[in-house]
Amino acid sequence: MAWFVLVVAGLLEVVWATALKHTDGFTRLWPSLLAVASAALSFFMLAWAMKALPVGAAYAVWVGIGAVGVVIAGIVTMQEDAGPARLLFLALIVVGIIGLRLVEH
Where are the chain's structural domains? 1-103
Residues with Cβ within 8 Å of 82's Cβ and at least 6 positions away in sequence, in order, are 75
Counting as low any pLDDT under 50, the low residues of the chain are none
pLDDT value of residue 29: 98
Mean of per-residue pLDDT scores for the chain:
95
pLDDT value of residue 104: 76
pLDDT tens-digit readout, 2-16 = 999 999 999 999 999
From residue 52, alpha-carbon distances to 18, 37, 95 in Å are: 28, 24, 22
pLDDT value of residue 17: 96
Alpha carbons 77 and 25: distance in angstroms, whole number: 20
